[in-house]
Amino acid sequence: MILAVASGKGGTGKTSVACALALALDRPLTFLDCDVEGANAYLFLHPEFTSREEVLVPYPVIDPVRCNACGRCVENCQFGAMIRLGKKVKLMGNLCHGCGVCRMVCPEDAITMAGRPVGVVHLGTAGVMRFACGELNTGEALSVPIIKRIKEEKDDLVIIDSPPGTSCPAVECIDGTDFALLVTEPTPYGEHDLRSMITVCRRLEVPCGVVVNRSEGDDDIIDSLCRELEVPVLMRIPFKRRVAECYARGRTLLEVFPDMREGLLDLFIEIRGMRK
Amino acid sequence: MTRIAVLSGKGGTGKTTAVASMAWYSKGLVLADCDVDAANLALTMNGSLRTKDDYVGALKAHIDPDACIQCGKCEDACIFGAISDFKVNEIHCEGCGACKVVCPEDAVTLQYLKSGDIYVLDTEKGPMVYAELFPGESNSGKLVSEVRRLADDLAESEDFDVVLIDGPPGTGCPAIASVTGADLILAVTEPSLSGEHDLMRLIDLAQHFSIPLCVAINKWDLHPESAKQIEESCHRKGVLVVGMVPYDPAVLKAIKAMRPLPSLFPRSPAAIAFNRIWREVSKRAVARKGSGVLLKLD
């Protein structure tokens, strides 16, 4: 089973919930931190890294001798990554998606595709877990190729810590999983972004359920949304200042709430019943 | 015109609260919510709707089933895995047009589809632009650029000196689009290892694009040692910490009441801290006016 822990809004507690769940299960599994723009799960799971791999994306290389600046590539690049400067064509690497259209349309065979590093993936182990995380290089825009590479790590049970948001990187994480556990908070912001996230799950046909973090007893704003959209609230985590204090130093929810272990194991059983 | 972008790296550190509070203390400005995946500033600014327009920004391939001879060349050419069974999966399609280029029967067309809405509101402090990308759509960076352009136009035509940008979390495509051409980045962080880790990534991004950046540590007293450690890390990187905001229950009350913090709790410790930060930030942004640079060419 592949389980994605996700949220529309940032900072709701995705990493906290994903790490606590993985530790509570205390069995062999693979943990994938796919928030490659801010990978933080390693701070809580303390993996030992055994290997490091560069992630390459296809990238056009223009042969200046063959190129006669006809402009076919410029016209056909949908991302504006090719620009003509006088008698030369120049590539704006930040904008390139690596699709290879420029190579296909070049009448002079002046373009070849090479690999360009956009980030790295770190692989290792944390106790009984296999662990992988990724890191987008500074100034690179596209995190999806790195997420795709991390997701190649397979196992009987995989827990994915997703990035915030509801566009490409989050979609890439949730797509093809068996269940999405959506972590939210009982505020208008949390509600607004949870609504978007549920829509994403529906589009991807991935079943989902909700964890309300920082609950202060009155979670009506989330409860009524979940009733309206018929999504179950599977767990509530109470608000405590001590949670923030422990989180600050990389300690997990289980250290603040030792009783939560059973709740998390029940949560996992429920998820298994609802999975795709 | 001065452009100030509020970012954080890590999500949930208080960007939107900072933006709403600073806007409240300003003499008037244009607001741009560039977190198009999770646009929350409008929930707090309580503006009245001026315009709502379609965002037609998603270019997607379409295969005409009558013209398609099922040769499979498009499927081989698509590096995004968006074509199977001679149909385009719109979620995975990035609109590159490789399928159109290789199709021997001209069965493929590229079509712009609506993928979101762009709104202009009138708030107490000036016009505000924000967008809602449809959930699951791609190309958020392009929509961010569109929001930025509209905000700049409004500042120009209605004579506002400042554009204040509420940015997305992360350091990828939408974050880069949010800071391009900004005069100053205010990074809002929190006292935790995660907050610090993501802040350092954001500082690297700002230095990569040569944009001045200063830091505010929100909820600093939740873990004073971490706050101190962040201050030291910033110092080592030559980055100024312009303010410390204490943990304040009034912040959550204001978010739940959907109003800017200082409008409800002007004497709250967090509001007072944001007021001080705004004075520092606006002063510094003006001083570096025009120093923002565009995306570097490779």
Instruction: Kindly list the residues from chain B whose CB atom is less than 8 angstroms away from the CB atom of residue A90.
Output: 297
How far does B109 lie from chain A, in Å, by closest CA? 13
Average pLDDT, stretch A41-68?
Answer: 96
Establish whether this prediction's ipTM goes over 0.95: no
Average pLDDT, stretch B115-132?
Answer: 97
Confidence of residue B291 (pLDDT cuts 50, 70, 90): very low
From residue B160, alpha-carbon distances to B125, B134, B211, B274 in Å are: 10, 30, 22, 21
For A189-209, how does the pLDDT look when each residue is reduced to its tens digit (9 = 90+)? 999 999 999 999 999 999 999
Instruction: Kindly list the residues from chain A whose CB atom is less than 8 angstroms away from the CB atom of residue B98.
Output: 99-101, 104
For B93-111, how does the pLDDT look when each residue is reduced to its tens digit (9 = 90+)? 999 999 999 999 999 999 9
Question: What pLDDT score does A244 carry?
Answer: 87
pLDDT higher than 50, residue B297: no
Average pLDDT of chain A to the nearest whole number: 95
pLDDT higher than 70, residue B273: yes
Nearest residue on chain B to A100, alpha-carbon basis: B98
Average pLDDT, stretch B150-169?
Answer: 97
CA A207/CA A271 separation, integer angstroms: 9
Average pLDDT, stretch B258-276?
Answer: 98
pLDDT higher than 70, residue B167: yes
Between A256 and B144, name the one with better pLDDT: B144
Interface test with B, best of A73, A77, A99, A197 (most B CBs within 10 A): A99
User: The domain A2-55+119-274: what is its CATH number?
Assistant: 3.40.50.300
pLDDT higher than 80, residue B288: no
Instruction: Kindly list the residues from chain B whose CB atom is less than 8 angstroms away from the CB atom of residue A136.
Output: 171-172
pLDDT higher than 60, residue B296: no
**Angle at which helices B269-287 and B249-257 cross, to 10°:** 80
Q: Is A169 on the interface with B (CB under 8 A)?
A: yes
Q: Which are the contacts of A92, defined by CB distance < 8 A and separation ≥ 6?
A: A80, A81, A82, A83, B295, B297, B298
How far does B159 lie from chain A, in Å, by closest CA? 31
Between B291 and B130, name the one with better pLDDT: B130
Instruction: Kindly list the residues from chain B whose CB atom is less than 8 angstroms away from the CB atom of residue A246.
Output: none
Confidence of residue B290 (pLDDT cuts 50, 70, 90): very low
Question: What pLDDT score does A94 carry?
Answer: 77
Interface test with B, best of A167, A197, A225 (most B CBs within 10 A): A167
Average pLDDT, stretch A103-124?
Answer: 96
Nearest residue on chain B to A139, alpha-carbon basis: B205
Give me the domains of chain B, ranges plus CATH numbers.
Answer: 2-51+117-287 (3.40.50.300), 58-113 (3.30.70.20)
For B38-53, how does the pLDDT look when each residue is reduced to its tens digit (9 = 90+)? 999 999 998 999 999 9
Between B151 and A141, name the one with better pLDDT: B151
| Among the partner residues A11, A203, A241, nearest to B135 by beta-carbon distance | A203
Instruction: Cite the residue boundaries of each domain of chain A with CATH code 3.30.70.20.
Output: 58-116
Question: What pLDDT score does B289 carry?
Answer: 53
Confidence of residue A110 (pLDDT cuts 50, 70, 90): very high
CA A41/CA A131 separation, integer angstroms: 10
Question: What pLDDT score does B221 carry?
Answer: 95
Average pLDDT, stretch B64-85?
Answer: 96
Question: What pLDDT score does B91 carry?
Answer: 87
Interface test with B, best of A101, A168, A222 (most B CBs within 10 A): A168
Q: Is A248 on the interface with B (CB under 8 A)?
A: yes
pLDDT higher than 50, residue B71: yes
Contact yes or no for A222/A215 (Cβ under 8 A): no
| Among the partner residues A43, A136, A193, nearest to B38 by beta-carbon distance | A193
Lowest mean pLDDT among A74-88, B146-160, B239-253, B279-293: B279-293
Question: What pLDDT score does A241 carry?
Answer: 87
Question: What pLDDT score does A10 carry?
Answer: 96
Average pLDDT, stretch B265-276?
Answer: 98
Instruction: Kindly list the residues from chain B whose CB atom is less than 8 angstroms away from the CB atom of residue A46.
Output: none
How far does B278 lie from chain A, in Å, by closest CA? 23
Phi/psi for A27 (5° steps) reads: -150, 165
Question: What pLDDT score does B275 carry?
Answer: 98
CB contact under 8 A, B197 and A43: yes
Instruction: Cite the residue boundaries of each domain of chain A with CATH code 3.40.50.300.
Output: 2-55+119-274
CB contact under 8 A, B209 and A139: yes
Lowest mean pLDDT among A209-213, B87-91, B243-247: B87-91
What share of chain A in percent tops pLDDT 90?
88
CA B138/CA B59 separation, integer angstroms: 10
Fold of domain A58-116? Alpha-Beta Plaits (3.30.70)
Average pLDDT of chain B to the nearest whole number: 94
For B173-188, how does the pLDDT look when each residue is reduced to its tens digit (9 = 90+)? 999 999 999 999 999 9
